[in-house]
Amino acid sequence: MLKTLESAVPVACWSCSVAHNDSTLFCPHCSKIQPPTGGDYFSAFGMKPHLNIDTDALEREFHRLSRRLHPDRFARASENEKEWSLADTALLNDAYRTLKDPLRRTEYLLKLNGAEIGEEHAGKDRKDTSRAPADLLEEVFELNMQLEEMRMARKMGEDDPALHQSLTEAKKKFDGLLEEVDQNLRAQWNTWDAGDEAARQGAQKTMVALLDRRRYLSNLLRDVNETLGA
Ligand SMILES: [Zn+2]
């Protein structure tokens, strides 16, 4: 089940008692800092939980809030407020790092909606070719053989220009596949953001699969780069 993220819980400001939603860092009424929010990263920035976001606006809001949270501003504040400003700063930094990066943003939002993403769900041994995407099984098998050959050759202090050439071509191909995954992910963002529940569930499933494929390809490319660069 997808839970809705758009609803924030109303709470009363500790200082002026006026109600506001619990995801804001400062009271909209009296401007006093609030205890760490109960909301998600998007709401900390006053944004909707979407995958297409205005990253310039995100950056501006990050700097604006960081200035408001600066320790100098709390030099004469109560102990509680000092503590909250530190906690809010940590939250703001985490939120900004996560949301400005398209992949981390996608993973974060999908996880918020209950998706299981990451190494812990996909298995850790990246050399296990049985986990290779089905359409790439043969190529991955071939590539791993060549990587092994290349490592052996290096160990013996030999150079194998033909093998090097063939690995460089494989790298180009897998780079292209990675690029393709990113394009497909972005296409799913639009479906997600449109907000139709049924379509969203479909998009979520597709994105989880794309992220798994992407992780697999990235690990493979890291191996290729390491071997070529060794
Ligand atoms: Zn207030």
Q: Which of 112, 142, 167 is the last residue of a domain?
A: 112
- Same domain membership, residue 225 and residue 132: yes
Beta bridge partners of 19: 12
Task: Give a yes or no: residue 94 inside a domain.
Answer: yes
- In total, how many domains does the chain have? 2
Can you read off the two tokens belonging to residue 123? 């298995």
- Same domain membership, residue 93 and residue 35: yes
- Same domain membership, residue 98 and residue 132: no
C-alpha closest to that of 158 among 230, 81, 216: 230
Q: Using CB atoms within 10 Å of the CB of residue 166, give its burial: 0 to 12 exposed, 13 to 18 middle, 19+ buried.
A: middle
Task: Give a yes or no: residue 122 inside a domain.
Answer: no
Helical ranges in 46-136 per DSSP H: 55-68, 79-100, 102-112, 119-122
- CA–centroid distance, 220 to ligand 1, in Å, is 52
Helix, strand, coil percentages for the chain (3-state, nearest 5): 65, 5, 30
pTM of the model: 0.84
Residue type at 67 in one-letter notation: R
- CA–centroid distance, 84 to ligand 1, in Å, is 15
pLDDT attached to residue 126: 40
- Same domain membership, residue 77 and residue 136: no
Residues with C-beta atoms within 5 A of ion ligand 1: 13, 15-16, 27, 29-30
- Same domain membership, residue 218 and residue 135: yes
Residue 87: give the domain boundaries. Answer: 10-112
- CA–centroid distance, 34 to ligand 1, in Å, is 8
- CA–centroid distance, 21 to ligand 1, in Å, is 11
pLDDT attached to residue 230: 59
pLDDT attached to residue 27: 93
Instruction: Give the C-alpha separation, 214 to 141, whole Å.
Output: 17
Task: Give a yes or no: residue 88 inside a domain.
Answer: yes
Q: Which of 83, 112, 141 is the last residue of a domain?
A: 112
C-alpha closest to that of 148 among 173, 129, 132, 134: 129
Conformational region of residue 17, where left means phi above 0, alpha means psi within -120 to 50, and beta covers everything else: left
- The HSE-up count of residue 17 (CA atoms within 13 Å, CB side) is 0
Q: Which of 82, 112, 142 is the last residue of a domain?
A: 112
Instruction: Give the C-alpha separation, 2 to 197, whole Å.
Output: 8
Four-point Cα dihedral 215, 220, 224, 225, nearest 10: 10
Task: Give a yes or no: residue 55 inside a domain.
Answer: yes
Start-to-end CA span in the chain (Å): 47
Instruction: Give the C-alpha separation, 80 to 163, whole Å.
Output: 63
- Same domain membership, residue 73 and residue 164: no
- Same domain membership, residue 78 and residue 141: no
Task: Give a yes or no: residue 120 inside a domain.
Answer: no
Task: Give a yes or no: residue 190 inside a domain.
Answer: yes
- Same domain membership, residue 67 and residue 140: no
Per-residue pLDDT of the chain (230 residues; tens, 9 = 90+): 344 444 567 889 999 999 988 888 999 999 999 998 778 999 999 899 999 999 999 999 999 999 999 999 999 999 999 999 999 999 999 999 999 999 999 999 999 998 888 666 655 444 444 478 888 999 999 999 999 999 999 889 888 899 999 999 999 999 999 999 999 999 999 999 998 999 999 999 999 999 999 999 999 999 999 998 85
- CA–centroid distance, 35 to ligand 1, in Å, is 12
- Same domain membership, residue 104 and residue 36: yes
